[in-house]
Amino acid sequence: EVQLVESGGGLVQPGGSLRLSCAASGFTLSNYTMHWVRQAPGKGLEWLSYISGTSNTIFYSDSVTGRFTISRDNAKNSLYLQMNSLRAEDTAVYYCARDGVVVVPGQFDYWGQGTLVTVSS
Amino acid sequence: DIQMTQSPSSLSASVGDRVTITCQASQDISNYLNWYQQKPGKAPNLLIYDASDLEAGVPSRFSGRGSGRDFTFTISSLQPEDIATYYCQQYDDLPLTFGGGTKVEIK
Protein backbone atom coordinates (compact mmCIF):
# COMPACT_ATOMS: atom_id res chain seq x y z
CA GLU A 1 0.00 0.00 0.00
CA VAL A 2 1.35 3.39 -0.99
CA GLN A 3 1.75 5.70 2.00
CA LEU A 4 3.10 9.21 2.37
CA VAL A 5 3.51 10.65 5.85
CA GLU A 6 4.54 14.26 6.38
CA SER A 7 6.15 15.58 9.54
CA GLY A 8 8.00 18.65 10.77
CA GLY A 9 5.22 21.20 10.80
CA GLY A 10 4.59 23.54 13.70
CA LEU A 11 4.62 27.11 14.90
CA VAL A 12 7.48 29.31 13.72
CA GLN A 13 8.13 33.03 13.94
CA PRO A 14 8.26 35.22 10.83
CA GLY A 15 11.71 35.03 9.30
CA GLY A 16 12.31 31.61 10.79
CA SER A 17 13.00 28.25 9.20
CA LEU A 18 11.43 24.83 9.20
CA ARG A 19 12.21 21.53 7.50
CA LEU A 20 9.38 19.29 6.44
CA SER A 21 9.84 15.60 5.78
CA CYS A 22 7.73 13.11 3.86
CA ALA A 23 8.27 9.42 4.52
CA ALA A 24 7.30 7.21 1.61
CA SER A 25 6.45 3.52 1.70
CA GLY A 26 4.79 0.92 -0.47
CA PHE A 27 6.60 1.92 -3.65
CA THR A 28 10.11 2.58 -4.97
CA LEU A 29 10.60 6.29 -4.34
CA SER A 30 13.41 6.70 -6.87
CA ASN A 31 11.02 5.81 -9.70
CA TYR A 32 8.77 8.80 -9.08
CA THR A 33 8.77 12.55 -9.33
CA MET A 34 7.52 14.06 -6.08
CA HIS A 35 5.77 17.34 -5.29
CA TRP A 36 4.96 19.69 -2.45
CA VAL A 37 1.52 21.35 -2.49
CA ARG A 38 0.08 23.61 0.19
CA GLN A 39 -3.32 24.84 1.26
CA ALA A 40 -3.80 27.97 3.35
CA PRO A 41 -6.63 27.76 5.92
CA GLY A 42 -9.97 27.85 4.13
CA LYS A 43 -8.30 28.40 0.75
CA GLY A 44 -7.51 26.42 -2.38
CA LEU A 45 -4.53 24.34 -3.42
CA GLU A 46 -1.18 25.82 -4.44
CA TRP A 47 1.60 23.82 -6.08
CA LEU A 48 5.03 24.71 -4.73
CA SER A 49 7.75 22.51 -6.14
CA TYR A 50 8.69 19.22 -7.73
CA ILE A 51 11.79 17.06 -7.89
CA SER A 52 12.45 14.26 -10.34
CA GLY A 53 13.31 10.74 -9.23
CA THR A 54 17.05 11.26 -9.55
CA SER A 55 16.93 14.89 -8.38
CA ASN A 56 18.13 16.02 -11.83
CA THR A 57 15.12 18.25 -12.39
CA ILE A 58 13.72 20.67 -9.84
CA PHE A 59 11.17 23.43 -10.25
CA TYR A 60 9.63 25.95 -7.87
CA SER A 61 6.69 28.30 -7.96
CA ASP A 62 7.55 32.00 -7.91
CA SER A 63 6.06 32.33 -4.43
CA VAL A 64 8.77 30.15 -2.86
CA THR A 65 11.74 30.47 -5.22
CA GLY A 66 14.84 31.47 -3.30
CA ARG A 67 13.29 30.66 0.08
CA PHE A 68 12.32 26.98 -0.12
CA THR A 69 14.49 24.04 -1.18
CA ILE A 70 13.17 20.63 -2.18
CA SER A 71 15.36 17.56 -1.83
CA ARG A 72 15.09 13.81 -1.49
CA ASP A 73 17.01 10.84 -0.13
CA ASN A 74 15.83 7.78 -2.02
CA ALA A 75 17.90 5.48 0.18
CA LYS A 76 15.92 6.75 3.16
CA ASN A 77 12.61 6.80 1.24
CA SER A 78 12.21 10.44 2.13
CA LEU A 79 11.34 13.77 0.55
CA TYR A 80 12.13 17.10 2.18
CA LEU A 81 11.19 20.76 2.01
CA GLN A 82 13.54 23.24 3.66
CA MET A 83 11.65 26.48 4.27
CA ASN A 84 13.56 29.66 5.11
CA SER A 85 12.56 33.29 5.56
CA LEU A 86 9.04 32.22 6.44
CA ARG A 87 6.21 34.73 6.19
CA ALA A 88 2.72 34.86 7.63
CA GLU A 89 1.34 34.02 4.20
CA ASP A 90 3.21 30.70 4.26
CA THR A 91 0.80 29.49 6.94
CA ALA A 92 -0.83 26.42 5.44
CA VAL A 93 -1.17 22.67 5.46
CA TYR A 94 1.71 21.27 3.43
CA TYR A 95 1.18 18.08 1.46
CA CYS A 96 3.68 15.87 -0.29
CA ALA A 97 2.29 14.14 -3.34
CA ARG A 98 3.50 11.47 -5.72
CA ASP A 99 3.42 12.07 -9.45
CA GLY A 100 1.74 9.29 -11.39
CA VAL A 101 2.97 10.34 -14.84
CA VAL A 102 6.29 9.29 -16.35
CA VAL A 103 6.65 11.79 -19.18
CA VAL A 104 4.90 15.01 -18.15
CA PRO A 105 4.91 15.70 -14.40
CA GLY A 106 1.76 17.05 -12.87
CA GLN A 107 -0.64 14.31 -11.89
CA PHE A 108 -0.84 13.78 -8.14
CA ASP A 109 -1.95 10.19 -7.66
CA TYR A 110 -1.13 9.81 -3.95
CA TRP A 111 -1.06 12.43 -1.22
CA GLY A 112 0.09 12.50 2.36
CA GLN A 113 -2.22 13.59 5.18
CA GLY A 114 -0.53 16.98 5.41
CA THR A 115 1.37 18.85 8.10
CA LEU A 116 0.34 22.28 9.39
CA VAL A 117 2.82 25.12 9.35
CA THR A 118 1.85 28.26 11.24
CA VAL A 119 3.97 31.38 10.87
CA SER A 120 3.19 33.82 13.63
CA SER A 121 4.85 35.87 16.33
CA ASP B 1 0.92 31.43 -15.49
CA ILE B 2 -2.11 29.53 -16.74
CA GLN B 3 -5.22 30.63 -14.85
CA MET B 4 -7.89 28.03 -14.17
CA THR B 5 -11.38 29.45 -13.68
CA GLN B 6 -13.82 27.07 -12.05
CA SER B 7 -17.55 27.58 -11.71
CA PRO B 8 -19.67 27.61 -9.76
CA SER B 9 -17.73 28.19 -6.55
CA SER B 10 -20.43 26.31 -4.68
CA LEU B 11 -23.61 24.42 -5.41
CA SER B 12 -26.38 22.66 -3.57
CA ALA B 13 -28.14 19.69 -5.12
CA SER B 14 -30.36 16.80 -4.11
CA VAL B 15 -29.32 13.19 -3.84
CA GLY B 16 -29.66 11.64 -7.29
CA ASP B 17 -29.22 14.93 -9.15
CA ARG B 18 -26.80 15.37 -12.01
CA VAL B 19 -24.09 17.87 -11.06
CA THR B 20 -21.80 19.62 -13.52
CA ILE B 21 -18.77 21.78 -12.80
CA THR B 22 -16.91 23.75 -15.44
CA CYS B 23 -13.26 24.70 -15.63
CA GLN B 24 -11.79 27.09 -18.16
CA ALA B 25 -8.08 27.54 -18.78
CA SER B 26 -6.63 30.90 -19.76
CA GLN B 27 -4.93 29.22 -22.72
CA ASP B 28 -5.04 25.96 -24.63
CA ILE B 29 -3.89 23.10 -22.37
CA SER B 30 -4.85 20.23 -24.70
CA ASN B 31 -6.12 17.50 -22.35
CA TYR B 32 -3.57 18.09 -19.58
CA LEU B 33 -6.21 18.45 -16.93
CA ASN B 34 -7.00 16.56 -13.74
CA TRP B 35 -9.92 16.63 -11.30
CA TYR B 36 -9.59 16.07 -7.55
CA GLN B 37 -12.04 15.58 -4.72
CA GLN B 38 -11.21 16.91 -1.27
CA LYS B 39 -13.36 16.01 1.71
CA PRO B 40 -13.19 18.21 4.82
CA GLY B 41 -9.99 17.72 6.78
CA LYS B 42 -8.59 15.28 4.23
CA ALA B 43 -6.04 15.36 1.44
CA PRO B 44 -7.25 15.67 -2.15
CA ASN B 45 -7.94 12.52 -4.10
CA LEU B 46 -7.39 12.12 -7.85
CA LEU B 47 -10.63 11.25 -9.65
CA ILE B 48 -10.07 12.08 -13.33
CA TYR B 49 -6.82 12.47 -15.24
CA ASP B 50 -6.07 13.59 -18.79
CA ALA B 51 -9.45 15.36 -18.80
CA SER B 52 -11.58 12.25 -19.17
CA ASP B 53 -9.84 9.13 -17.82
CA LEU B 54 -11.25 7.68 -14.62
CA GLU B 55 -8.68 6.85 -11.96
CA ALA B 56 -8.74 3.21 -10.83
CA GLY B 57 -11.27 2.55 -8.10
CA VAL B 58 -13.25 5.74 -8.70
CA PRO B 59 -17.01 5.20 -9.14
CA SER B 60 -18.29 5.47 -12.68
CA ARG B 61 -20.79 8.21 -11.74
CA PHE B 62 -17.84 10.59 -11.99
CA SER B 63 -16.80 11.71 -15.47
CA GLY B 64 -14.90 14.43 -17.25
CA ARG B 65 -14.68 15.79 -20.73
CA GLY B 66 -13.19 18.60 -22.73
CA SER B 67 -9.99 19.74 -24.38
CA GLY B 68 -8.29 22.96 -25.26
CA ARG B 69 -9.61 25.59 -22.85
CA ASP B 70 -12.99 24.27 -21.73
CA PHE B 71 -13.63 21.31 -19.48
CA THR B 72 -16.52 19.83 -17.55
CA PHE B 73 -16.74 17.46 -14.60
CA THR B 74 -19.98 15.61 -13.95
CA ILE B 75 -21.44 13.54 -11.16
CA SER B 76 -24.25 11.65 -12.86
CA SER B 77 -26.18 10.87 -9.68
CA LEU B 78 -25.10 12.77 -6.57
CA GLN B 79 -24.58 10.61 -3.48
CA PRO B 80 -24.26 11.75 0.16
CA GLU B 81 -20.62 10.66 0.22
CA ASP B 82 -19.86 13.04 -2.67
CA ILE B 83 -20.03 16.05 -0.35
CA ALA B 84 -16.66 17.65 -0.92
CA THR B 85 -14.78 20.38 -2.72
CA TYR B 86 -13.70 19.60 -6.26
CA TYR B 87 -10.67 21.10 -7.97
CA CYS B 88 -9.44 21.11 -11.54
CA GLN B 89 -5.69 21.32 -12.17
CA GLN B 90 -3.66 21.83 -15.32
CA TYR B 91 -0.29 20.32 -16.05
CA ASP B 92 0.35 21.67 -19.51
CA ASP B 93 2.87 24.17 -18.18
CA LEU B 94 4.66 25.26 -15.03
CA PRO B 95 3.68 26.45 -12.57
CA LEU B 96 1.07 23.76 -12.10
CA THR B 97 -2.14 25.55 -11.24
CA PHE B 98 -5.50 24.67 -9.71
CA GLY B 99 -8.94 26.07 -10.12
CA GLY B 100 -10.47 27.84 -7.14
CA GLY B 101 -12.60 24.87 -6.19
CA THR B 102 -16.30 24.02 -6.18
CA LYS B 103 -17.93 23.14 -2.89
CA VAL B 104 -20.72 20.60 -3.38
CA GLU B 105 -23.42 20.33 -0.73
CA ILE B 106 -26.62 18.32 -0.37
CA LYS B 107 -29.86 20.26 -0.56
Report d(CA B65, CA B59) in Å as an integer. 16
| Cis peptide leading into residue B95 (ω within 30°) | yes
Closest CA to B85 of B66, B72, B100: B100
- In angstroms, the separation between the Cα of residue B78 and the nearest Cα of chain A is 23
Q: How many CB atoms lie within 10 A of CB B31?
A: 16
- By the 10 Å C-beta count (0-12 exposed, 13-18 middle, 19+ buried), B13 is classed as middle
Closest partner residue to A47 (CB to CB) among B36, B38, B97 is B97
Mutation for testing the A interface, residue in B9, B96, B102 having most A CBs under 10 Å: B96
pLDDT string in tens for chain A (121-residue length) = 999 999 999 999 999 999 999 999 999 999 999 999 999 999 999 999 999 999 999 999 999 999 999 999 999 999 999 999 999 999 999 999 999 976 788 999 999 999 999 999 9
Report d(CA B69, CA B101) in Å as an integer. 17
Q: Do B43 and A111 touch (CB under 8 A)?
A: yes
| Cis peptide leading into residue B44 (ω within 30°) | no
- In angstroms, the separation between the Cα of residue B20 and the nearest Cα of chain A is 19
Q: What are phi and psi of B98, to 5 degrees?
A: -110, 155
Q: How many CB atoms lie within 10 A of CB B74?
A: 14
Report d(CA B95, CA B27) in Å as an integer. 14
**Could you give the percent of chain B with pLDDT greater than 90?**
100
Task: Say which DSSP state B96 is in.
Answer: P
Which residues are CB-neighbours of A112 under 8 A, at least 6 positions away? A4, A5, A6, A22, A95, A96, A97, B43
**Regarding beta strands B84-90 and B102-106, do their DSSP bridges make them parallel or antiparallel, or are they unpaired?**
antiparallel
Summarize the confidence of residues B20-33 as an average pLDDT. Answer: 97
